Amino acid sequence: MLYWDEKSGRSFATNRNRKVSMSRDDILLEAEMSMEKSVDYMVHEFSAVRTGKASPGLVENVDVFAYGSTMKLKQLALITTPEPRLLVVQPFDAGTVQDIERALKESKIGITPAVDGKIIRLPIPELSEERRKDLARSLSKMAEEARVRVRANRRAALDEAKKLKAAGELTEDGLHDLENEVQKLTDRFVKSIDDHLKHKEAEIMKV
Residue 84 phi, psi dihedral angles, 5° rounding: -55, -30
**Domain encompassing residue 90:** 56-123
Distance of CA 86 to the CA centre of its chain: 24
Which of the listed residues 71, 99, 123 is the one where a domain comes to its end?
A: 123
Q: Do residue 41 and residue 62 come from a single domain?
A: no
- Return the percentage of the chain with pLDDT > 90, whole number: 56
Type of residue numbered 56: P
Same domain? 175 vs 79: no
Taking the C-alpha atoms of residue 35 and residue 41, their distance in angstroms, rounded to an integer, is 10
Q: What is the pLDDT of residues 59-105, one digit of tens each?
A: 888 999 999 999 999 999 999 999 888 999 999 999 999 999 999 99
- Residue 156, domain CATH: 1.10.132.20
Whether 39 and 71 map to the same domain: the answer is no
Whether residue 43 is found in the same domain as residue 95? no
117, 169: one domain: no
Could you tell me which residue, 144 or 9, shows the higher pLDDT?
144
Can you list the positions of beta strands (E) in the chain? 2-5, 10-13, 63-66, 69-72, 77-83, 86-91, 114-116, 119-123
**How many Å apart are CA 124 and CA 27, to the nearest integer?**
45
Distance CA 83, CA 62 (A): 21
Choosing from 123, 142, 172, the residue where a domain stops is 123
Domain count of the chain? 2
pLDDT, residue 85, reads 82
Using the predicted structure, report yes or no on whether residue 107 has a pLDDT greater than 70: yes
Shared-domain flag, residues 156 and 201: yes
CATH label of the domain that carries residue 81 = 3.30.1360.40
Task: Provide the CA 111 distance to its chain's centre, in angstroms.
Answer: 22
Q: Is there a contact between 193 and 42 (Cβ–Cβ < 8 Å)?
A: yes
